[in-house]
Amino acid sequence: MNDLIKDIDIITGDEAQAVDYKTTVEENTGKAKKIYIESYGCQMNFSDSEIVASIMKENGYDTTSDFQQADVVFLNTCSIREKAEQTVRNRLNHFNAVKKHKPEMTIGVLGCMAERLKDKLLEEEKIVDVVVGPDAYRDLPNLVNAAEDGQKGVNTFLSREETYADIAPVRLNSNGVTAFISIMRGCDNMCSFCVVPFTRGRERSRDPHSIVAEAQDLFNRGYREVTLLGQNVDSYKWSPEENNKARLNKKEGEVTEVVNFANLLEMVAQVSPLLRVRFSTSHPKDITDEVLYTMKKYENICKYIHLPVQSGNSRVLELMNRTYDREWYLNRVKAIREILGEECGISSDMIAGFCTETEEEHQDTLTMMDLVKYDFSYMFFYSERPGTLAAKKYEDDIPLEVKKRRLAEIIEKQHQLSFERNKLDVGKEQLILIEGTSKKSQQELKGRNSANKVVIVSAEGLKLGDYVKVKVTDCSPATLFGEVLEINPALA
């Protein structure tokens, strides 16, 4: 997903050992104990860590950014590719070495790897104290207490209802401007390569009322952008009957109609014209024209769609069980261009070297990229995951060198396309939202335009959270550079 997956083969496509993870920040409110959380994988996992921090905070724990200070260390893990799991195993070994000198420290594995491996991590490998899957975080304080008394524990129960709707996430690593809101959990698709349906369980949508309330609260606290998160946001669906059978009395302001994703987008967009709305991930089989028209109707819904194609070849797409073909995908892109115009950003995920993929079929992915002209992509080579449909049905028969070479070709193509697309922005006036300092210089700030591209501007007179009208003056394949024209123009 998008913003969603952060791991190194996006960049290098190889087995480099670098990691991309987030840790908790220091928050000292005088509580007796401290947790340290290291989070891997997609944005939804990072979002879950904020729920975990909230649950633990209620139960007497502050957060720390230094695991040496922590009473409890959590690794919130990802199983999407083999390398993601290997990274976590290396970290676990490291934490265990530390624990030898500090036996009172509790080590917990959370997230997708916990769900996939369950008690294996406890029984066979004996390297953790608690193992807790994505739907069981309310049980964490109990399990940690028991572990502190020497009782190791596992809870990997997957729920059909849990959405943590009532839990106010503790914003970790926050810039105070942009935040993520989970709108659904799980996934009901069965893409043959993918482990997510097994680690995250059945798809369920969260009460729209609680989503809007969370967006409103963030806005009141100064946030200016929310990203609505789900594995397949277009299948968001909430109805009072289905989702809320137990409730007898309707509360004031409660939603009574069926709410689909387009409706939800509109509800969040109406919080304020000053609150930008983004979302991820869209599934090509489910994205509707109604969503595209809603995006068009609201200036504050960003014109950017992450629409992972995975492959440009219809036979491979069928083996992947993506349930669309090349033609369907191209038609969806046509609708985006017709309704939202050429400037709408489109990005993708691509998998190189899926089972039985021929050279010609790989070429179809490259020509697909040329046709769509993706602004950027997250690119991977296929990594077989135990228990998935592909692992059961197909042979992982493309040699690693071939996978890597195909991936390198895809990355090279994307590099050219990103540069081409960025050049089209040079000379244009755009609105950006300032969200941080530039990696390269303290004198420069970075913001993003509606199409989700980073624009670097001089920091003079600006602060985080400002909307700035800029003229794009230059670009690299990854970044735009802008000149400030106006600070906080009227948007309402």
Please list the alpha-helical segments (H only) found in 183-253.
196-200, 208-220, 240-243
Q: How far apart are CA 433 and CA 454, in angstroms?
A: 10
Regarding beta strands 454-458 and 444-448, do their DSSP bridges make them parallel or antiparallel, or are they unpaired?
antiparallel
**Which of ligand SF4, ligand SAH, ligand F3S, none does residue 380 bind (CB under 5 to 8 Å by kind)?**
ligand SAH
CB of 187 to ligand SF4, least distance (A): 3
Q: Is residue 44 at the binding interface for ligand F3S, with CB under 6 A as the rule?
A: yes
CB of 144 to ligand F3S, least distance (A): 21
Q: How far apart are CA 226 and CA 211, in angstroms?
A: 11
Q: How far apart are CA 199 and CA 201, in angstroms?
A: 6
Total of residues contacting ligand SAH (CB under 6 A)? 19
Q: Residue 32's CB: how many other CB atoms inside 10 A?
A: 8
Q: Is residue 382 at the binding interface for ligand SAH, with CB under 6 A as the rule?
A: yes
**Which of ligand SAH, ligand SF4, ligand F3S, none does residue 197 bind (CB under 5 to 8 Å by kind)?**
ligand SF4
The candidate with the shortest Cα–Cα distance to 287, out of 309, 262, 270, is: 262
Part of the chain binding ligand SAH (CB under 6 A), chosen from 12-20, 172-180, 256-264, 382-390: 382-390
- Please report the beta strands in 95-183, taking only residues with DSSP state E, as ranges in sequence order: 106-110, 130-132, 153-155, 178-182
CB of 212 to ligand F3S, least distance (A): 24
Q: Is residue 24 at the binding interface for ligand SAH, with CB under 6 A as the rule?
A: no
Tell whether 344 is in a known binding site: no
Q: Is residue 376 at the binding interface for ligand SAH, with CB under 6 A as the rule?
A: no
Find the binder of ligand F3S among 2, 24, 45, 388 (CB under 6 A): 45
Q: Which is nearer to ligand SAH, 198 or 219 (CB)?
A: 198
Q: Is residue 388 at the binding interface for ligand F3S, with CB under 6 A as the rule?
A: no
Beta bridge mates, 223: none
Q: Which is nearer to ligand F3S, 234 or 364 (CB)?
A: 234
Q: Is residue 300 at the binding interface for ligand F3S, with CB under 6 A as the rule?
A: no
CB of 481 to ligand F3S, least distance (A): 32
Residue of closest CB approach to ligand SAH: 349
Tell whether 302 is in a known binding site: no
Contacts 24+ apart (CB under 8 A), 212-220: 212/267, 212/268, 212/271, 214/168, 214/181, 215/181, 215/268, 215/271, 215/275, 215/277, 216/271, 217/168, 218/179, 218/181, 218/275, 219/271, 219/272, 219/274, 219/275
Tell whether 355 is in a known binding site: no
Q: State the Rg of the chain over Cα.
A: 22
Backbone phi and psi for residue 310, each to the nearest 5 degrees, phi listed first: 70, -50
Convert 331-365 to b/e letters by CB count within 10 Å (16 or more is b): ebbeebeeebeebbbbbbbbbbbbbebeeebbebb
Binding mask 92-111 for ligand F3S (x = CB under 6 A): -------------------x
3-class DSSP state of 122: helix
213-242 positions binding ligand SAH, by CB under 6 A: 231-232
Q: How far apart are CA 321 and CA 311, in angstroms?
A: 11
Q: Which residues bind ligand SF4 (CB under 6 A)?
A: 187, 189, 191, 194, 196-197, 231-232, 283
CB of 322 to ligand SF4, least distance (A): 7
Find the binder of ligand SAH among 80, 181, 301, 475 (CB under 6 A): 80
Q: Which is nearer to ligand SF4, 52 or 194 (CB)?
A: 194
Binding mask 175-194 for ligand SAH (x = CB under 6 A): ------------------xx
264-283 positions binding ligand SAH, by CB under 6 A: 281, 283
As given in the structure block, the two tokens for residue 466 are 């400002």
Q: Which residue in the block uniquely carries the two structure tokens 């066979």?
A: 124
CB of 471 to ligand F3S, least distance (A): 37
**Which of ligand F3S, ligand SF4, ligand SAH, none does residue 383 bind (CB under 5 to 8 Å by kind)?**
ligand SAH
Q: Is residue 377 at the binding interface for ligand SAH, with CB under 6 A as the rule?
A: no
The answer to whether 225 and 278 are in contact (CB under 8 A) is yes
Convert 38-48 to b/e letters by CB count within 10 Å (16 or more is b): bbbbbbbbbbb
Using left for φ > 0, alpha for ψ between -120 and 50, and beta otherwise, residue 455 falls in beta
Q: Which is nearer to ligand SAH, 128 or 194 (CB)?
A: 194
Q: Is residue 345 at the binding interface for ligand F3S, with CB under 6 A as the rule?
A: no
Q: Is residue 243 at the binding interface for ligand F3S, with CB under 6 A as the rule?
A: no
- Please report the beta strands in 327-441, taking only residues with DSSP state E, as ranges in sequence order: 345-352, 376-381, 429-437
Find the binder of ligand SAH among 351, 407, 432, 484 (CB under 6 A): 351
Q: Which residues are annotated as a binding site for [4Fe-4S] cluster?
A: 42, 78, 112, 187, 191, 194
Please state the residue numbers annotated as binding site.
42, 78, 112, 187, 191, 194
Point out which residues bind ligand F3S (CB under 6 A): 5, 41-42, 44-45, 78-80, 111-112, 195-196, 199-200
Footprint on this chain of ligand SAH (rule: CB under 6 A): 1, 5, 80-81, 193-194, 196, 231-232, 281, 283, 308, 310, 349, 351, 380, 382-383, 385
